[in-house]
Amino acid sequence: MEKHFLSQYVSGKQKFMAEPWYNRCGDCIVYKTVDVAVVSNRIDEVLTIYESLKTGDSIGFKIKGVNGIVSKFGYDGLMIKSKQKGIIVQSISVTALLLAAYETGPMNIKRRQAYAGVLSSPQRPVLEIPIDSLQACT
């Protein structure tokens, strides 16, 4: 395999993680459950479904314009409070974010099916993103 052009800048153990990540350079939350190549299937301004290139199965999603949604709905309607080692960690619920996003767009079957698919996936754990990570790139 040809050497990766970034290999001199990275080191350490690689371990795929199926957990949501806020990409502050793109103001989006990405969540992928399997370490394979995906095709991005854009549903609307907010939601993109990741489909396995090989099988076509939905294996994750991307929520775009996160700060725009938060600005519109406020943290109150999206927030979860959880205690970790005595410290209250404030996070927003990815499910609440998706529901808020769904409310903002046109009502049609394509959107309804896509959002329902993402929200009802049996493998999907409760997903949340700490509020203090939601800072866009400067």
Residues of the shown chain interacting with another protein in the complex, contacts defined by CB under 8 A? 1-2, 4-6, 9-10, 12-17, 21, 23-28, 32, 35-42, 45, 53-54, 62, 64-65, 67-69, 137-138
Rounded to a whole number of angstroms, the minimum distance from the CB of residue 22 to another protein is: 10
Rounded to 10°, the helix 94-104/109-120 angle is: 170
* Cβ(32)–Cβ(51) below 8 Å: no
* Closest CB to another protein among residues 6, 88: 6
* Closest CB to another protein among residues 34, 88: 34
Rounded to a whole number of angstroms, the minimum distance from the CB of residue 76 to another protein is: 19
* Cβ(27)–Cβ(65) below 8 Å: yes
Rounded to a whole number of angstroms, the minimum distance from the CB of residue 30 to another protein is: 8
**Residue 71: DSSP 8-state:** H
71 to 20, 36, 45: CA distances (angstroms) = 20, 33, 16
* Closest CB to another protein among residues 17, 88: 17
Strands (E), the chain: 21-23, 28-32, 38-42, 47-52, 58-64, 79-84, 87-93, 128-130
Rounded to a whole number of angstroms, the minimum distance from the CB of residue 119 to another protein is: 21
* Closest CB to another protein among residues 25, 88: 25
